[in-house]
Amino acid sequence: MAGIMSDSMTVVTRFAPSPTGMLHIGGVRTALFSWLYARHARGRFILRIEDTDRERHTEEAVGVILDGMQWLGLAADEGPYYQTQRSPRYREVLEQMLASGTAYRCYCTKEELERLRAEQLARKEKPRYDGRCRGRTEPRPGIEPVIRFRNPPDGEVIVDDLVHGRVVFQNAELDDLIIARSDGTPTYNFCVVVDDMDMRITHVIRGDDHLNNTPRQINMLRALGGEPPAYGHVSMILGPDGAKLSKRHGAVSALQYRDEGYLPEALLNYLARLGWSHGDQEIFTVEEMVAAFDIANVNKAAAAFNPEKLLWVNQQHMMRVPLSRLAPILREQLARLGLESRDEQLLEGVAAVQRERSKTLKEMAELSRYFFAEDIALDEKSARKHLTGESVPALAKVRERLSALGEWTAEPIHATLSAIAAELGVGLGKVAQPLRVALTGGTVSPPIDATAALIGRNRAIARLDRAIAWAGK
RNA sequence: GCUCCCUUCGUCUAGAGGCCUAGGACAUAGCCCUCUCAAGGCUGUAACACGGGUUCGAAUCCCGUAGGGAGCGCCA
């Protein structure tokens, strides 16, 4: 009964990225599913860095993964483990397999193997090693051998995949894969098996590009006397055009989304809903996802990444989260625009009125310059339209009454503006729009009373004076 | 080429033989609300890849076909 664990057994999942210099959002999604599965089952989640290919992997590349996981809040209960630090253990298992005969040395040269491959291809066969060194007992002088796994020649391997259901592979389709290179270093498929066994992984949740590796890994695990874990192969993410997601589709790195002003829980929510659903619910807090997640409901088909929906999900989260969560991120985004603000009260106030009019915190910062900048730029077009000679009486009246206003908050400001409109016999728009241009420099802002309140009396009056002067020209 | 996987509105999905006149969400169009922009509300356009079966009845089960993807490395 491969992979069926009793309830009493603790679930252990893992995320095993290869440090390529970026945390890909496809990887984030499998990490998330792994993490959710462990959290839901009150199990453990392990982070393991697959860095066997030493040259390509740098410390910075590992740092990127760690930073990304931290930003996302996908905390590991164990690790990070590094494969490069486990060499002695791999060596040990290799020796053990050689001794037991489940692995053997292969002295074929690369040229020989290439020829074999070419012949098979010419015969329209699947290229695979034919096992010619299986029975060899004597070394070939001058050749450093590789080590191959002795795969069972017949029978089948059944994978009861958590998302795909039963998948059956014939052993005859599998060949004896190389588990150690001629320089003695172990290869990926072998390391994974040893690691998953040693770390007692109960549920391997990974990309479905690994589905074809699974029968080999199961065979190796059995040869080592281990019991295979359960496997769940989740689909990959496609670009909006249905092609494999790549840089040309825009941001594929998780940290880019942080820089673009997305909330990590929103990214997680969006990624989870890509291939998974829970009734008609679209917006989930992380806790809700943990409670509702079930790998069995994950879709088999690959899903296309839709940036517009991510934007919507992000805004929905911005509108629900406490303002104190938004303020620091808004401050950071403002800083990138060269605008300083240490006023937590103001930051939260701005976030409160802007969150329903911005999709990201970056956009919020861009739309909120006039709340933080001392000098604002007057948009020509807006000014010509609304700061006309006709608007001067209204503006003057607003200036006069607002400077005398007792309490500088939205309600009295609103009452004042309404009263002025009524006195002048015009709609509120005739007062609000010129004032909006005066205060913000443009025609778009949150409700004018709230906007004025946040801008503050002194700055508001100064901007009014300037606008009146402009209109009177 | 071989093996394996996948296929419901443009996109993400619901759907476990009758509840389907195929539901929800994003996007899109219209209306409402309204001081601008939003947010919100209402309404609309829009899908079971195709062909055969099985069944009283199929989006759902079976078999093909087509299309897409992955794997077949001394990469991970």
Percent of chain A topping pLDDT 90: 80
Report which residue type is found at A218.
I
In a 3-state reduction of DSSP, which class is residue A252?
coil
pLDDT, tens digit, for every residue of A422-468? 999 999 999 999 999 999 999 999 999 999 999 999 999 999 999 99
**Complex confidence, ipTM:** 0.95
pLDDT, tens digit, for every residue of A129-151? 998 899 888 888 889 999 999 99
Distances (CA, A) of A332 to A258, A338, A360: 11, 10, 13
Annotated active-site residue in A110, A124, A247, A381:
A247
The nucleotide whose C1' lies nearest the CA of A277 is: B13
What pLDDT was estimated at residue A467? Answer: 92
Packing angle of the helix pair A428-440, A457-472 (nearest 10 deg): 100
Exposed, middle or buried: residue A234 (CB in 10 Å: 0-12, 13-18, 19+)?
buried
CA of A302 to C1' of B53 (A): 29
| Known catalytic membership, residue A247 | yes
What pLDDT was estimated at residue A409? Answer: 95
What pLDDT was estimated at residue A55? Answer: 58
Say whether the peptide bond before residue A80 is cis (omega within 30 degrees of 0). yes
Q: Where are the alpha helices (DSSP H) in A153-248?
A: 188-198, 214-223
The nucleotide whose C1' lies nearest the CA of A304 is: B11
Q: How far is it, in rounded angstroms, from Cα A353 to Cα A252? A: 30
Q: Are A176 and A129 in contact (CB under 8 A)?
A: yes
**How many other β-carbons are positioned within 10 Å of the β-carbon of residue A39?**
22
pLDDT, tens digit, for every residue of A257-289? 999 999 999 999 999 999 999 999 999 999 999
CA of A355 to C1' of B24 (A): 25
Q: Which residues contact A115 (CB under 8 A, 6 or more apart)?
A: none
pLDDT, tens digit, for every residue of A74-124? 999 997 999 989 999 999 999 999 999 999 999 999 989 999 999 998 888
Chain B positions with a protein C-beta closer than 7 Å: 1-8, 10-16, 23-27, 34-40, 68-76
pLDDT, tens digit, for every residue of A160-181? 999 999 999 999 999 999 999 9
Say whether pLDDT at A9 is over 80: no
**pTM, to two decimals:** 0.93
Dihedral, A19, A79, A31, A3 alpha carbons, nearest 10: 120
Cα–Cα nearest to A416, from A371, A464, A473: A464
CA of A196 to C1' of B70 (A): 22
Report which residue type is found at A159.
V
